[in-house]
Amino acid sequence: MTDAPRKKTYDELRSARWFAPDNLRAFGHRSRLMQMGYAPADWVGRPVIGILNTWSDLQPCHVHFKQRVEDVKRGVFQAGGFPVELPALSLSESAVKPTTMLYRNMLAMDAEELIRSHPIDGVVLMGGCDKTTPGLLLGATSAGVPAIFMPAGPMLRGNWKGKILGSGSDAWKYWDERRAGNITDADWQAMEGGIARSYGTCMTMGTASTMTAIAEAIGMTLPNASSIPAADANHIRLASDCGRRIVEMVWDDLTPSKIQTREAFENGIAVAMAMGCSTNAIIHLIAQARRAGQDIGLDDFEKASRKVPVIANVRPSGDTYLMEDFFYAGGLPALMNRIREHLHLDCLTVTGKTMGENIEGAEVYNDDVIRTVDTAIYKEGALAVLKGNIAPDGCVIKPSACAPQYLKHTGPALVFDSYPEMKEAIDRDDLDVTADHILILRNAGPQGGPGMPEWGMLPIPKKLVKQGVRDMLRMSDARMSGTSYGACILHVSPESYIGGPLALVRTGDLISVDVDARTINLEISDEEMARRKSAWVAPEPRYHRGYGWMFSRHIKQANEGCDFDFLETTFGAPVGEPDI
């Protein structure tokens, strides 16, 4: 058991600095609350709980947040708090172009400054669609007030002609069938209406399910919060539970810094591996850990990857089940119980209890969905970090989701310098390509993309699709969607746009990949590499004004988490409290 914390007094709350003093400023703050119809009974003695809501009319994964926020408020009221909803950047994965990753840090800044500038004592973070989870958590971590993350929950299983459809994964799969001429237009349209059947996040093990699971594993959500389907009444109760709990967290001063220790992030990594996580997890977890002052890097993923098996049989690493099945099988606490020996059970969580206490007795109800270590769907972790002369700072592959013959392979490169160039060529019948080739897309990294778009699962050339090829090696400095699969080597660092060695590859060069040895090399001499390097010309800057200009100057590389340099804890002196 953890020691009972000392309760804060009302005078010690941040919000009391706005509302309690007998001075002109506080008169202004109070009179403006009264303008909205509130009376002193609404705020005196009560923590102000900010509810950061990433709802929008173009955010299908969070569309229920418009109602759910009322359930969060209900919980806050019941526990004696004063709830206030603060809209935050919505970052709809499906609608925002060129990529939400360009804006993750913008949401992080939005969240941090919303909290800092307002009279907020604690926050409920309502997110779940891909970048919203790390965005909100990065911001709340830097702001430092007590915070609880409330995941949107996965949507229901997709359904088409009685077949289960999984977000993303099945769209890619059937798109290839359609390109091969095996799917009719009518079937394709029926799939459009069947693949996303309710509000909530992608229900495959994409970035959303990965990041919410990590948030839970780190201790920033209530137990099992990440698995509850969005459309389940349990999700409504989760919302009011979050509201009740955050008020207690404020009195207990249970801040993210007490929860987000190095051990907590190691739990996040172990769970990510056991879930067969999205490759995006690496970037976000590194960024979040660094905001919390913990030095987590690619090596930590590599270590966990060698130890922790994939036991969540959820697509795309698994072949059958989806997040709804995972919830019915016991959800994340049950999975965590199965990998207890890989976890630090004494880490503190938002419940005020340890992770070990939270998951005690959590049972698995379906051993095919949540496997045992002995029946794991993949014996080693979901991700492998490769290094070599073409990726000196590392790159990532998801061996659990690729055809085994590509785990050790040497083949000639076929290079594309941009996405449009690749798109134009890939369906040509005269494209000089075989299944042995390694397709390369460059200028798709943090600065080159910009924002590392999810282009990393390059389409298989149509000519090969028709021959029955469904996987081949692909390599880029881009990311790929967590719902994607295949032999895709991603996040090559440093990126080609800033002159990383990927920029020096030529079509026909041989590249050797050995996942077991964790190596990737361009088979040219060091002298030739140096010659090409000195002849390389930097591309024109993409932006001359605006957010993109700032982004280009301050974005860090993928292996460092793609945070802005000026947001890292080590950059300059800490930001103080606002003058009130």
Residues that bind ligand FES (CB under 6 A): 61, 93-94, 129-130, 167, 201-202, 206, 208
Measured between alpha carbons, how far is 238 from 256 in angstroms, rounded to an integer?
A: 20
Give the burial string for 276-306 (b: 16+ CB within 10 Å, else e): bbbbbbbbbbbbbbbbbebebbbebbbebbe
C-alpha to C-alpha distance for 135 and 561, rounded to whole angstroms:
12
Considering only residues 81, 154, 206, 453, which one is a binding residue for Mg ion as defined by CB under 5 A?
Answer: 206
CB 500 within 8 A of CB 483: no
Q: Which stretch binds Mg ion (CB under 5 A): 205-213, 235-243, 445-453, 499-507?
A: 205-213
Q: What whole-number distance in Å separates Cα of residue 326 and Cα of residue 317?
A: 13
Closest CA to 298 of 404, 251, 306: 306
* C-alpha 91 chain-centroid distance: 12
Shortest Å distance, C-beta 395 to Mg ion? 19
Residues 6+ apart with CB under 8 A from 434: 464
CB of 462 to Mg ion, least distance (A): 25
Among 142, 481, 496, 557, binds Mg ion (CB under 5 A): 481
Q: Which does 195 bind (CB under 5 to 8 A by kind): ligand FES, Mg ion, none?
A: none
> Closest CB to ligand FES among 201 and 557?
201
Residues 51-110 that bind Mg ion (CB under 5 A): 93
What is the footprint of Mg ion within residues 111-150 (CB under 5 A)? 130
157-159-160 Cα angle (round to 5): 160
Write the DSSP assignment of 11-26 as a string of letters: GGSHHHHHHSSSSHHH
Task: Give the residue carrying structure tokens 């049950």.
Answer: 334
Residues 438 and 427: their CA atoms lie apart, in Å, by 16
CB closer to Mg ion out of 61 and 513 = 61
Name the minimum Å distance from CB 130 to ligand FES: 5
Which option in ligand FES, Mg ion, none does residue 260 bind, with CB closer than 5 to 8 A by kind?
A: none
Residue placing its CB nearer to ligand FES in the complex, 49 or 61: 61
Site string for Mg ion, 158-197 (x = CB under 5 A): ----------------------------------------
Instruction: Check: CB of residue 269 under 8 Å from CB of residue 300.
Output: yes
Name the minimum Å distance from CB 93 to Mg ion: 5
214 or 390: CB nearest ligand FES: 214
CB of 55 to ligand FES, least distance (A): 13
User: Judged by CB, which is closer to ligand FES: 33, or 283?
Assistant: 283
Q: How far is the CB of 507 from Mg ion (least distance, A)?
A: 30
Select 95 or 510, whichever has its Cβ closest to ligand FES: 95
Cβ-based neighbour number of residue 184 at 10 Å = 10
207 forms part of the interface with Mg ion (CB under 5 A) = yes
Binding stretches for Mg ion (CB under 5 A): 93, 130, 206-207, 481
